[in-house]
Structure 1
Amino acid sequence: MPVRVLVVDQQPLFSRGLELLLPAVSDDRVHVVASTDLAGSAAVLARRHQPDLALVDLGLGPPGGVRAIAAIRRVEPRLPVVAMTVDGDEEQLALDALRAGARGLLIKAQEPEELLPPLLAAADGWAVLPPSMLARLSGTGRAACRTPRLTGDEQRLWRFIARGASTAQIAQSMHVSERTVKRLTAGLLRRLGVSTRTEAATLAGRAGLLDG
């Protein structure tokens, strides 16, 4: 099934570029169905067009990208929302976006081809965060990170989750069904003491799981 995307970005040319390029680089799997440069219009468009994924620029004018994310989540609580920023060092803004309900964060400097895998992963229900930001978002550092003893397969699954792999990709790599991946993921989240994939990804950064 094609993935239908809502783009909320302060630069109309960026939105138009995604509209033209995403179908081309995704073999027609991803389409922009609506776009706006107004934060206040985000929730209205989300309700009207019922997209599969919303991309929201954190640099939007008032009321801002974080409030736009919160508004989308209020009217469409099941809609995955991914925040976008041009500056990967804006840690507080990124944290505010995650608290408002964003499923992850993308750096806008990436090429359309590089944006495609995390977009598809987010639409599939996975957290997406730049690996370089995971450790910084953890706040307290690796020394304060305590994780349970995990099996080799659990470690592999955790690493896949932290890197934003889709359910299908994990199933193929681990030679199991997608249903099994979902069951194993639920068990891993319980073992880690977290409730979302985003929290598991952040914890992986604190534990140094993505080093090397």
Structure 2
Amino acid sequence: MNITTGIVRILAVSGSDDPAPAVEALRCGAEGYLPKTSEPEDLLPPLLAVLDGWAVMPGALLRRLVGPARPPGLHLDDEERRLLRAIATGEGTVTIAERMRTSERTVKRMTAALLRKLRVTNRVQAAALAGRAGLPDERSDP
């Protein structure tokens, strides 16, 4: 309990792999759910997250509850698709700039905007997203 605000946070812990107790605990107001098999050093980040007001749950359990992850629909314009395809196939900034007939600085700016739009933090994550969406297999630009 946070003495200054009087807020109580509840975190459910169980040794079961069954998602039903986790769902029931969350429905009853628990802020999160952690397996008893967690290593002690792995408990601190979720406990601190709960104190900050976040809900926590192991990723594997979350995936079981919501189903397999699917890549989001890539709602990109033609230029963004070309850029993402180039990133996914491993082209560097200089090569992309030459191909798109623009400056390296513009490619870096466009790449940063694309990463934000895709909600990823780096080119590797963007390439993985493109791969899951089948973008590298699409017909290349002439």
TM range (shorter): 0.3 to 0.5
TM-score after normalising by structure 2: 0.47
Between Structure 1 and Structure 2, the one with more strand by share is: 1
TM-score after normalising by structure 1: 0.32
